[in-house]
Amino acid sequence: MIGAAEVEAIAAAARRQPPVADDPRMRALRGARVGAARVIAGPARAPAFWWVPFVVDGLVCGWARVGLDGALGEVAIFGADAEARTSWPPLAFFDAPPAAALAEVAASDAGVTLGEPFLSHDRAPSQIAWRVDVALADGERRVALISPAGWYIRPPA
């Protein structure tokens, strides 16, 4: 697996190449700061890929997904265009799961026990979320996924 500095350099270089370099919807990415690369884990907590945020004023306007081998997987934006700032989540979301959301998940059913949250994805790699294993009082297992838009609980995949 390559290191974070190399991944961040790959993400920075991707902003200077098509389609990012010439797509008006991705204009915000070109002027954004390259944030710290994060390893995104799969459902079993094994490293799945690198995720690099592009940051403007503390908000994440887009990201790059880079394979563990350094291959660029995708560059994408939050929202429909370069001006969709209301769709940009705060960078702090990707540093720690929101305490309020964790509290809501814990209160969603009597006797819920939460596992340790970890940064993962739900089904598609572009759906970055905090994954939390949930044990219900009757022993049934669920998975809570906390995204910038909200949270939900589903059966484990």
User: Cα 109 vs. chain centroid, distance in angstroms?
Assistant: 26
Output the average pLDDT for the chain.
94
Q: How confident is the model at residue 130 (pLDDT cuts 50, 70, 90)?
A: very high
Q: Provide the whole-model pTM.
A: 0.92
- CB within 8 Å of 113: residues ≥ 6 apart: 134, 135
pLDDT tens track for 51-62? 999 999 999 999
Mean pLDDT of 25-36: 94
Mean pLDDT of 13-40: 94
Burial class of residue 46 in the structure, from the number of CB atoms within 10 Å of its CB (0-12 exposed, 13-18 middle, 19+ buried): exposed
- CB within 8 Å of 139: residues ≥ 6 apart: none
CA distances from 117 to 42, 120, 141, 156 (A): 12, 9, 15, 15
Mean pLDDT of 10-32: 93
Strand duo 59-66 + 47-56: pairing: antiparallel
- CB within 8 Å of 66: residues ≥ 6 apart: 7, 10, 11, 37, 49, 50, 51, 52, 72, 73
